[in-house]
Structure 1
Amino acid sequence: MSKIEEAQEILEALGMPMAQQNEMAALTLLALCNIKETDSWTEATRQCMSLTKGIMAFVSQHYHREYAPNTRETFRRQVLHQFIQARIADYNPDEPTLPTNSPKTHYAISQEALLVVKSFKSDSWDESVADFVGKIGTLSRAYQRERATYRLPISLKGETFNLSSGKHNEVQIAVIEQFVPHFVAEADILYLGDTAHKDLYSDKQGLERIGISLDLHNKFPDLVIYDKEREWLFLIEVVTSHGPISPKRMLELEGVFANAKMGKIFVTAFPDKNTFKKYITEVAWETEVWIADNPTHMIHFNGDRFMGPRDTL
């Protein structure tokens, strides 16, 4: 294995969530431990490093991964913040009283994590990991407990499903509870994703009946709803922080659902008008917009008609 892959294995063993087992996280760990590709993990050392001139410079020099300056926030928010929470890294260990935005901000591998890292591939590895997890716990388990505490229930076909908390899933629930009764004559929910679990609910038999196999690598929309009375298929994207159904996204969805021969309705669902305004220039023509704050109304980007599938023109 490469050193990056080995670093990912260490992060997994220490109980980091999947999002903090990626390449950026692995490179950050390597930098904090001053481990280069040909080094042994027993050579890991603790030194204080700034982000840009320390960690990112190390990654560039020794692993030839070039990150743009604007990715600094990604390092901070998606890697270093979680490393600190998990006691893998220390924040400003030399000057703990530094203000938050100080240019002297620095990080270091924690002494506890350093002991584990130095034992990688040794006879004491399993014992070191168990000792660290026993004393510190794992961030992954902590996150799971937190997510389990805050859930958004939704009832589908007599069964209750719990979506993870967040604005995106709140809008998804609003689509089912408010959009569907107003605009879908006879609704059959075939697919509902979740920000934490993409395949939270799927009616695989129902999808297969209309010619679709569930393959999440094909970039399914957030919701797939079949109107059996009119034979319309609603492909719905919820937008809170990412883009709407743009011309590019519409072509992707048409490809994914090419075998479904019924009429297709492309809908972007927004939580409110302010969010809609941010993305209005990206919305594709011949699609629909629904805003949860005004659930009984639709905005039709169609010109010569109201809601209906494109191929019925």
Structure 2
Amino acid sequence: MKQYINPDNSKTFREKTKKVQELINTALYILDKFGIPLDNTARRLEKMAISFLASGDIKNLRDFVSAKDLNSGYALKTREIINFVNKYFSENISPGSYDDIRRKDLKLLTIAEVVLQSSPNSATNDSTRGYSINPTYAELIRQFGEKNWEKSVADRLKNIEPLNVKLKRERQISKVKVTLPVGGQLTFSAGEHNDLQKAIIEDFLPRYGFGANVLYVGDTADKYLYLEKEELEKLNFFEISHEELPDVIAYSKKKNWLYLIEAVHSSGPINEIRLLQLQQLTKNCLADIVYVTAFLNRSKFRQFMTEIAWETEVWIADNPDHLVHFNGDKFLGPYRKD
């Protein structure tokens, strides 16, 4: 059976007994076959698994055959789930973390209806509401270990679209394709911030980039969506893992200009403080720096206009053929101190 959690990846998992580790990996195997997406951290998977086991009163491998469900009258409140996992799975979860059970640990399971709420029409923060395994899934759990179990699961659930398929479809639908100036494509997750980054790459750089290549761009779902680490290192750029990275970095070999571009949707223009940070971080850079703040439209620009630092540029996506220069005595270009 696949090991979904490696002890090397989770301190709490490593500290558990071998039997509990096997129980958790078995629970994740079952959830995998039920179509629950498991693309998460080891600790998050661990907590989902033990909350699932608590919802069925499963304390060891032998208990799968007698897993309880909502029809049996069994349901644990979130605080009771914490007590259960602390007692049986060597956890030390604070009682004050009860809301994390609902919002994080059981979230995917309740969305997929593998785990049901005892009073689904009650308020979101109803402390009397319990959680228990859906009888349909509990029946399959009780059959776990029987011959052709996976086929039985597939047959029984054939009319239920798995959550991992639903989420995959939604993610594909909500992706934004971006074409790089030098060819090739990126795929952003949907959102106004990423729409603006798409405009920066497809509209700003072809107009004002002097043949610039994109060397870095982050996505709201993937901080390092595109990264040319070696090229940045050649320019003596600061450590790419630094939290102060701008949204888009591009380099024009023709001009030896490095563009540091902030895409502003709700916050983050290049103000005087941000400019000083970037100047300090790039003090050893071999290229001349061009600082650009980008906005989707003029109304958004007006919200931040008084914050923009001098010696920087502003570009507005719905007026792509114009720049606003905060450089005083010059137009687009790096502002040298000599």
TM-score computed with the length of structure 1 as normaliser: 0.65
How far did 1:224 drift?
1.9
Are residues 1:17 and 2:37 paired? Answer: yes
Match in the other structure for 1:189: 214
Partner in structure 1 of residue 255 of structure 2: 230
Aligned-partner SS, 1:95: coil
Say yes or no: does 1:49 pair with 2:76: yes
Is the partner of 2:76 in helix, strand or coil? coil
Deviation track 1:209-254 (CA, whole Å, cap 9, x = no partner) reads 54679x9866665422113343222233445468677979986997
2:92 partner amino acid: H
Counterpart selection for 1:63 from 79, 88, 91: 91
Q: Is the 8 A contact 1:198 1:216 kept in 2?
A: no
Counterpart Cα distance in 2 of 1:258 and 1:123: 66
Could you tell me which runs of 5 or more consecutive residues in structure 1 were left unpaired when the two chains were aligned. Answer: none
SS at match of 1:87: coil
Question: Cα offset for 1:50?
Answer: 3.3
Cα distance, 1:144–1:294 mapped onto 2, change above 3 Å: same
Cα pair 1:235 1:266 within 8 Å, conserved: yes
Deviation at 1:170, TM superposition (A): 0.8
Note the alpha carbon deviations across 1:276-308, whole angstroms, 9 max, x for none. 8999999999877766567645586x9999876
Residue 138 of structure 1: aligned partner:
162
Whether 1:26 and 2:51 are equivalent positions in the alignment is: no
Distance 1:233 1:266 in 2: 9
Query: Does 1:82 pair with 2:108?
Result: yes
Partner of 2:4: none
CA distance in 2, matches of 1:58, 1:95: 20
Give the direction of change, closer, same or farther, for the CA distance of 1:10–1:160 in structure 2 (3 Å limit). Answer: same
1:272: how far off? 6.2
**Number of matched residues?**
304
CA spacing shift, 1:141–1:182, aligned 2, 3 Å: same
Distance 1:33 1:155 in 2: 46
State the structure with more CA Rg.
2
Structure 1 counterpart of 2:168, one-letter code: Q
Q: Considering only aligned residues, what root-mean-square deviation do their CA atoms show, in Å? A: 5.1
Q: Which residue of the other structure, out of 169, 173, 176, is the alignment partner of 2:201?
A: 176
Output the TM-score relative to the length of structure 2. Answer: 0.62
CA shift in 2, pair 1:152/1:252, >3 Å: same
Secondary structure in structure 1 of the residue aligned to 2:50: helix
